Chain A
Amino acid sequence: QKEVEQNSGPLSVPEGAIASLNCTYSDRGSQSFFWYRQYSGKSPELIMSIYSNGDKEDGRFTAQLNKASQYVSLLIRDSQPSDSATYLCAVNKGRGSTLGRLYFGRGTQLTVWP
């Protein structure tokens, strides 16, 4: 079982719609959760971090965390063509020899069409 799994996509939504990206993780003791955006040919860029159960909103982005279900999601409201990128879910186990290390999913490619 992989540490972090994401729906493979690609995901295609029209401009103005809500894009929903999902991620599950295997280690129940994981502490910190992150969403990164990666444009083609560029390095990852941090969008959101979330540490507690529930929702966290930042502009058009909302991260949702459910530790009981080991599930993290990212909602993008009013999607724009500029949101077209690969979205990476990352998890930090927060303890022991892996302290600080992030485990990444394979990423979900999102295309927002005008």
Chain B
Amino acid sequence: GAVVSQHPSRVICKSGTSVKIECRSLDFQATTMFWYRQFPKKSLMLMATSNEGSKATYEQGVEKDKFLINHASLTLSTLTVTSAHPEDSSFYICSAQGQEYRETQYFGPGTRLLVL
């Protein structure tokens, strides 16, 4: 149980385009999903927290208009990187949390974004 998928696993795009990343909880209902970013050899950095049906809460310094988060259902959250630039290149990881797992976060496999 507690499987989280992410799609795509890897994406290369041109500067200025938008990229959408999907995060799905496959076998449980995720009341809360989290989006992280991780640069090489650095710590996980929480970007935002999203609850199903409500607006995401962004961490300080994260531009909500650039990183659009939608949590439309209890099994799906999406992160859209709008007008991507090379400095947005990173490893984006989602995690999902369900009521039956008592605050435990289960991570998706991550999406590696490269902006040229």
Contacts and interface: CB of A to CB of B under 8 A. Distances in A.
Interface stretch (B11-19, B68-76, B81-89, B100-108): B100-108
Contacts of B105: 34, 46, 90, 102
Given A43-B107, A94-B103, A100 B44 contact: no
Interface in B29-70: 32, 34, 43-44, 46, 49
B104 A49 contact: yes
Residue with the greatest number of chain B CB neighbours at <10 A, chosen from A43, A45, A88: A43
A34 B107 CA distance: 13
B43 A101 contact: no
A34 B44 contact: no
Contacts of B102: 32, 49, 51
B104 A44 contact: no
B46 A46 contact: no
Given A100-B49, A101-B49, A107 B43 contact: yes
Interface residues on A, range: 20 to 34
Interface in A60-89: 88
Contact of B32 (A31, A36, A46, A100): A100
A92 interface: yes
Interface residues on B, range: 10 to 19
B93 interface: yes
A25 interface: no
Nearest to A107: B43
A43 B103 CA distance: 18
A99 B34 CA distance: 12
B8 interface: no
B104 A34 contact: yes
Interface string B87-116: 000000100010000111111111000000
Contacts of B104: 32, 34, 46, 49
Given A49-B102, A100-B49, 19 more contacts: A31-B103, A32-B102, A32-B104, A42-B110, A43-B108, A44-B107, A45-B107, A46-B104, A46-B106, A88-B44, A92-B103, A99-B103, A100-B32, A102-B34, A102-B103, A102-B105, A104-B44, A105-B43, A107-B43
